[in-house]
Amino acid sequence: MNAKVEELDPIILERGGTRLTRSQVEAFGREIDALREEIMNDLGEADARYIRRLVKTQKGMELAGRGLLFLGVLPPAWLAGTALLSVSKILENMEIGHNVMHAQWDWLNDPALDSSTYDWDNTCPAEQWKHSHNYMHHTFTNVVGKDRDVGYGIMRLSDEQRWNPLYLFQPAYNWVLAALFQWGVAFHDLEYEKLLKGEKSWAEYRVQRRKIMKKVRKQVLKDYLLFPALAGPFFPFVFAGNLSANLARNLWAYLIIFCGHFTEHAEMFTEEEIVGETRGQWYLRQLLGSSNLEGGPLFHIMSGNLSHQIEHHLFPDMPSNRYRQAAPRVRAIAERYGLHYNSGRLSRQFGTVLKRIHRLALPGRRRANSAPV
């Protein structure tokens, strides 16, 4: 490309053997827009049946699980009850709550699936989560300094983050975060670091903390006092079952979410890189900053279809059951532009997440997370 043409149509992405000009990036964006419009215009009764059947199944599993835990003195009943309650909590958290609060089902005009009023089975208040996740994370995906999901305020997951000695211990406290994931999500938006720097007022902090503690009390009372108390002498069995189900849900949510953005080749970005960002560039950042997981239909449902993390970030308000339809077409579009479509089995992707966590625990700066082409 000669200098005059480059001046009119500058190269804005250059990685390995791939060079994309501004017009090519915008053409990529128009193809993604067209795909979104095609699928969204096709939504109908089959989609409605899917989510309503799923909600009915989830509620049935919760009822059966809690009922079996009341017979928890019998080991088979306790194991079955805990398993059913665990799956129920995972479904409610991942495929129902997360996606409902993304407004994926608002088009149904169903009060039970309304993003503005839905309250999920989690310690994080819905209103706060929609700010930290729907707005901050999805708008500024993997932008260091803007997307607080990069490290959750306690981990170094990008070379752009300044190293400090506390990060030496992140391979260990990474597992603490995994076990307590819903609690990390709940207190995430308090932004302690901004409070300490004087960038956030104590009054604002106290208002947020009150809202969080109100939701925390509700969840603790339900799972660790109310339902165990209803079991009378079987209190310990119900308490232990609820604790185990919440732990299973936390570990699963952590696993899926970390594999969505912190695999070896998931890209990170600086604030300078998104100045003047166009829609096509925003789509490009979502593609390069996200990672997919391969598996069967049940695996995708259990992951909340966040196994299609790329499609979720391109189309956050698209009903999640449609991501499987969109994925091969997004991959084909990416390949036409020479872009890496980051996808792999869960074991492989999580292995690269652990590799990143351990590498970035050490000092040094090395841009080793660029996607291959």
326-342 pLDDT, tens digit per residue, is 999 999 999 999 999 99
Q: Is the pLDDT assigned to residue 4 strictly greater than 70? A: no
pLDDT band at residue 7 under the 50/70/90 scheme:
low
Closest to 55 in 3D by CA, of 121, 133, 127: 121
* Mean per-residue pLDDT, 90-94: 98
Closest to 371 in 3D by CA, of 309, 285, 275: 285
260-293 pLDDT, tens digit per residue, is 999 999 999 999 999 999 999 999 999 999 999 9
Least confident of 2-6, 11-15, 169-173: 2-6
pLDDT band at residue 6 under the 50/70/90 scheme:
low
Going from N- to C-terminal start, the domains of the chain cover: 21-49+120-360
> What is the CB neighbour count within 10 angstroms for residue 187?
19
Cβ-proximal residues to 111 (8 Å cutoff; 6+ apart), any chain: 117
Residue 372: the pLDDT is 46
CA–CA gap between residue 35 and residue 43 (Å, rounded): 13
Checking DSSP bridges between strand 18-21 and strand 343-345, what pairing results, if any?
A: unpaired
52-62 pLDDT, tens digit per residue, is 999 999 999 99
Q: Which position has the higher pLDDT, 196 or 337?
A: 337
DSSP state, residue 10: -
**Most distant pair of Cα atoms in the chain: their distance:** 82
Residue 366: the pLDDT is 54
Cβ distance 249 to 230 under 8 Å? no
- Encoded tokens for 202: 């104590």
CA–CA gap between residue 244 and residue 62 (Å, rounded): 14
Closest to 161 in 3D by CA, of 188, 142, 180: 142
Work out the percent of the chain whose per-residue pLDDT is above 70. Answer: 95
Quick one: 243 exposed, middle or buried, by C-beta within 10 A (0-12, 13-18, 19+)? middle
User: Is 289 strand, coil or helix?
Assistant: coil
> What is the CB neighbour count within 10 angstroms for residue 141?
25
AA letter at 178: A
353-365 pLDDT, tens digit per residue, is 999 999 999 997 6
> What is the CB neighbour count within 10 angstroms for residue 217?
12
Residue 2: the pLDDT is 52
CA–CA gap between residue 113 and residue 200 (Å, rounded): 34
The chain-wide mean pLDDT, for the chain, equals: 92
User: Is 105 strand, coil or helix?
Assistant: coil
* Mean per-residue pLDDT, 124-146: 93
AA letter at 5: V
Greatest mean pLDDT among 38-47, 142-151, 179-188 lies in 38-47
User: Is 18 strand, coil or helix?
Assistant: strand
Q: Which position has the higher pLDDT, 210 or 191?
A: 210
User: Is 363 strand, coil or helix?
Assistant: coil
> What is the CB neighbour count within 10 angstroms for residue 237?
23
